[in-house]
Structure 1
Amino acid sequence: MHAPDGFIDAPVSAAAGLLAAGAIAVSLRGARRELDDTSRPGAAGAERTAPLAGLVAAFIFAVQMLNFPVAAGTSGHLLGGALAAILVGPYTGVLCVSVVLLMQAVLFADGGLTALGVNITTMAITTTLVAYALFRVLVKVLPRTRRSVTAASFVAALVSVPASAVVFTLLFAVGGTTDVSLGKVAGAMVGVHVLIGLGEAVITALTVGAVVAVRPDLVHGARGLRQKLKLRVDGELVDAPDTGAEPVPAASRSPRKVWIAGLVISLVLAGFVSFYASADPDGLEKVAADHGIDKQAEEHTAADSPLADYGVKDVDDARLSGGLAGVIGVGVTVVAGTGVFWAVRRRRTEEEAEATSPTGTSV
């Protein structure tokens, strides 16, 4: 759903850019609290949260390379807002997806540079906020179990994708550069992205469910979730009686194994599995082609980038070229993302130090 330059006119693109910049500024402040996990019991140490958030960004980059078929001649890919919000929090989630979109636009010529604000608005802000708001409502009304968290993740991710399509359609209605029927564009966009949303929901639920099963303390959306101890009685598993004893703090357990496993999975997906992704145009590309919107598309400024179109320049073997580009993308994204979140976390530490300093002034 990466919009290229030319789909939306300059004034609306600029307005979307200002909106995206404001949302990122707010997210930077909110992410400081989310990354400061010492405020919640059973969390990983605050010094470990930045690499985990960077890993989420890298994982989203890798999975976005895996286009899956959704209808005749159309494919879809993960947007990632729901997944990021549930794993690391909504503010950090906005930053995760924004980092991915920036890396894709600058290095891989995927998504226009002047359209970056539009893409952040639709793919990062909209999906994250819609998904997390719905997710919080669902987990409040559902039992506090792992299955409920996974089910809520599925529904939230499913709804977030057509919501993103609706926002893009609204932006196009205001600043579209092609004279087409908005009703037809809206119907086509929402229709195909409901199907893409099903794929997004499956990926999100499987990922959240897997992490919750292993380390629920690392999942922002599963805060306070406790696993009941199981006992085998007469060959059947039953809940152990609640003794009232405090659980062992999860902060004493290093998330290193989860981080390594996540990075390896991301590298395999981007470096190997991506070769088998669907080559069909994604939802936005298909709608644009069917309705003539793509006639106004402009060539990407970074079209001559060594990594443009997710291939390494001068490497003739398609499998090797795409695999190397994917591995490079995962590496750059995890480094860039971790760097951003380290800086955010460090700023939070400095603010706390200033507030507690005898000469400091509390805000």
Structure 2
Amino acid sequence: MASFSCLIIISSPNPAYAMHIAEGFLPMSWAVFWWLLTIPFLVFGFKSLSHVTQKNPELKLLLALSGAFGFVLSALKIPSVTGSCSHPTGTGLGAILFGPSVMSVLGSLVLLFQAVLLAHGGLTTLGANIFSMAIVGPWVAFVIYSIMVSCGKQKLGIFFGATLGNLATYVVTSIQLAIVFPAVEGGVMASFIKFGGIFAITQIPLAISEGFLTVLVWNWLQSYAINELQTLKLLKIQEG
């Protein structure tokens, strides 16, 4: 699996249009802007992560699983059109289990390792990639999940949370690129439609697949990590 993942990543023809924005693709002013927007979320995320690990150290293995799930899924780049690629994000699971703040840290570590080890994304563009995949995606997943749980639909919440969290990441990435590279005719909106259209063909079915996969992992956790889920108070919810 690891060799296959690396082969897909290395053979991707044009990283500029990948879901992870490539090194040097953003002007330095915009790279700094996204870092400044991202840092407050990371500071709060580290505090949340520290609280979880100190209060419940037995959850560290589940935290590692959430990070590994995100790493493996987001490393699988699927070729799209015009030399672009799409990929799952894997951040919905961790956001549902531990909240979006903790997942912002895990997602940032995932993106950092991918940039350094796999040349998937860049270091100067890391702030922008963190904001789209490790901040916006998890928050959208968590909010959708919370709304559906309040209606007594936990597994539907997991599915739609993971699915829409994935789609939110690709929408934000399209906005980030459109702002920096507005179209000659139509400006930012036309550019956003262009970038969004490039991703949509493969990203929408990928997002739906990620939703189903996240539900399958949840079912597995209900069988083999019941103590951890009880600690997180996630098993008291009954399906309506």
Residue pairs, 1:279-318, within 5 angstroms: none
Question: Does residue 162 of structure 2 align to residue 157 of structure 1?
Answer: yes
Residue pairs, 1:191-210, within 5 angstroms: 191-210=201-220
* Residue 35 of structure 1, CA deviation: 3.5
Question: Does residue 176 of structure 2 align to residue 171 of structure 1?
Answer: yes
Question: Does residue 49 of structure 2 align to residue 20 of structure 1?
Answer: no
TM-score (norm 1): 0.53
Question: Does residue 207 of structure 2 align to residue 189 of structure 1?
Answer: no
* Residue 139 of structure 1, CA deviation: 0.6
CA deviations over 1:92-141 (Å, ceiling 9, x no partner): 21111111111111122111111111110111111100000110111111
For 2:148, the equivalent position in structure 1 comes to 138
For 1:8, the equivalent position in structure 2 comes to 26
From 98, 103, 106, the counterpart of 2:108: 98
Unpaired runs of at least 5, structure 1: 38-45, 143-147, 229-363
CA deviations over 1:167-216 (Å, ceiling 9, x no partner): 11222232238858413223333454222211221221111221123334
* Residue 13 of structure 1, CA deviation: 1.3
Q: Choose between structure 1 and 2: higher helix proportion.
A: 2
Q: Matches of 1:70 and 1:222 in 2, distance apart?
A: 38
Compared with structure 1, are the counterparts of its residues 5 and 73 closer, same or farther at alpha carbon in structure 2 (3 Å cutoff)? closer
SS of match in other structure, 2:123 = coil
Cα RMSD after superposing both structures: 3.0
SS of match in other structure, 1:210 = helix
Total equivalences in the alignment: 215
Question: Does residue 138 of structure 2 align to residue 128 of structure 1?
Answer: yes
CA radius of gyration, larger in: 1
SS of match in other structure, 1:95 = helix
Letter in structure 1 aligned against 2:62: L
Q: Is the contact between residue 67 and residue 107 of structure 2 (CA under 8 Å) also seen in structure 1?
A: yes
TM-score (norm 2): 0.77
Compared with structure 1, are the counterparts of its residues 227 and 192 closer, same or farther at alpha carbon in structure 2 (3 Å cutoff)? closer
Q: Matches of 2:40 and 2:177 in 1, distance apart?
A: 21
Letter in structure 2 aligned against 1:89: G
**Taking CA–CA contacts closer than 8 Å with sequence separation of 6 or more, which of the two structures ends up with the larger relative contact order?**
1
Compared with structure 1, are the counterparts of its residues 134 and 110 closer, same or farther at alpha carbon in structure 2 (3 Å cutoff)? same
For 2:61, the equivalent position in structure 1 comes to 51
After the TM superposition, which of the residue ranges 164-173 and 57-66 deviates more from structure 2?
Answer: 57-66
Q: Matches of 1:69 and 1:5 in 2, distance apart?
A: 19
